[in-house]
Amino acid sequence: MRTRTEPAGLVPAPAEQHTGALVRIGSGGRLTLSGAAPEAADWFAWAVGVLHGLRAEPVLEGADVLVSTEAEPAEFAPVAPVTGVDPRPEPGADERHRLTVSEGLVRLSSAGVEGAFRALTSLVQIISVDDEGGVWAPGGVITDGPRYAWRSLSLDVVRHYFTPDEVRRVIDLMALYKFNALHLHLTDSEGWRLESRAWPGLTRPRADGTREYYTREEFADLVAHAARCHITVIPEVDLPGHTRWAFDAYPELAGGIEYPHPRLRYLHPDSEAARRFAGDVIAEFAEAAPGPFLHLGGDEPFGMGHEDYAAFVRLTHQWVREQGKRVVGWQETARAGVLGGEDVLQYWIGAPDEFDPEAIKKSVPEEYHPLVDQAAETFRISPADVPAATEAGVPVLISSNSRLYLDRPYADACADPVQEGDRGRLGLPAYPPITVEDSFGWDPAETAEGLAPGTVVAGVEAAIWGETLTGFGDLAFLLLPRLPGVAEKAWTHPRTEWKDHRARLNGHPPLWNALGFENHFRPES
């Protein structure tokens, strides 16, 4: 009697699924494929090989998997239209698709190559293989399409540097769950990760001679790899705060400005050197990625007066537009009053995590108390950020730290005792721990309405920050199993419940292991 692995459930949950018993769709440890675009066929062959140990071969006729990209959009009318802001270089591609699985044949129907690619990612998830090389999938029909046009992950490669190969592995994981944008946080007070030709001291080698930044060629390769997975790279240059690394390399950026505290440094609009620096690095970042958006940062401008901050954001906003790009900014940038309907505001300061200056003062030396007070003022006025953006017609990218910051510690105990040490050291200590179930228990539209009625949701973005990371295994621990839950919030139209999501996710750990994310978090239940 043949034995076979059980298929994983489909994550994100599809709009419509009517499937039943498993049927065999291939044999001999292989699948044949026709009709897919060459890059999609190459990705499918790679994915079924890595995840299932199968061979996928293109054929002209008699294929096991037949792809059609010429369906009429009306065929997918039961799937609600996508909403939000499209981050792709060529916006508007229809991602809706249908899988029809029967004995010996899978038909994938879409109105374009991107929809076909999303259908192939679904098929990759639901395949199972028996011990004689038979390939199985649930028979029936799956019709699907995205809820939001913007579905992304922000990856901090500054606090912990990830090599190009490691970033590619993250992109591969994102593709499996139908994300379409990777926001790379490339600059901060701890480093600068994109090669700068105008200011080469930003990407100086470490004291031991090692290089922890991406050359222009390496970055171009990452952008190209992401594009093959229908993922757009959005680079971030964080200005005017979070710039200590830049000041260490180029002290002249201060331009004679008097700062309120020796440890506070920010780019001041009255500094000619700071203005020249900002214009140069914006041009470099705009050149590095072909997508329509550039992320300006703009968060936590501690110690900076409102008028100076607003003036600097107005300047950098103008320079981004002159580069032919649209602006994404953290929610504080709404205070400059310059964002418009073509821009995107990224909401991140979640309601349960208001800044508590007195608690923080108890944990830091007294000399830092003025800095805490400066930070407290920034957080005090944050509830007005999203309403100001909404009033100006600016779409909002939901990225609340209370649900979507995946560097938040786990409240669940580990099923693997060895991982308890990881659970104790990973995740920002300032954040109260949260269970995996609670991280799933929210809805983007409800969140937006709670912030400001009438807010247009651009989409959903998770974020992973690197302060506590020491290696790729730590990243796997914090990302999984929470990242697929974020994907479901961004993709799936009907609201799904935790019990159903968890049941579908139960079969996914072998996929994560195969992709190199072996240290994913294993909760007790």
Active-site residues, by number, are 300
Q: How far apart are CA 22 and CA 26, in angstroms?
A: 12
| The one-letter amino acid at 256 | G
Q: Which of 520, 510, 509 is nearest to 53 (CA)?
A: 510
Q: Specify burial of residue 205 (Cβ count, 10 A radius: 0-12, 13-18, 19+).
A: exposed
DSSP assignment string, 157-217: -SSS---HHHHHHHHHHHHHTT--EEEEE-EETTEE-B--SSSGGGGPPPTTS---SB-HH
Task: Classify residue 409 by its DSSP letter.
Answer: P
Which residue is associated with the tokens 């290696």?
Answer: 471
H or E element in which residue 154 lies: strand 150-156
Beta bridge partners of 19: 140
Q: How far apart are CA 476 and CA 519, in angstroms?
A: 6
Q: Which of 13, 23, 52, 7 is nearest to 140 (CA)?
A: 23
Which two structure tokens, joined as six digits, stand for 27? 């044999």
Q: How far apart are CA 139 and CA 87, in angstroms?
A: 34
Is there a contact between 172 and 225 (Cβ–Cβ < 8 Å)?
Answer: no
Which residue is associated with the tokens 């999984």?
Answer: 480
**C-alpha torsion 436→439→443→447, nearest 10:** 170
H or E element in which residue 109 lies: strand 105-110
Q: How far apart are CA 338 and CA 354, in angstroms?
A: 26
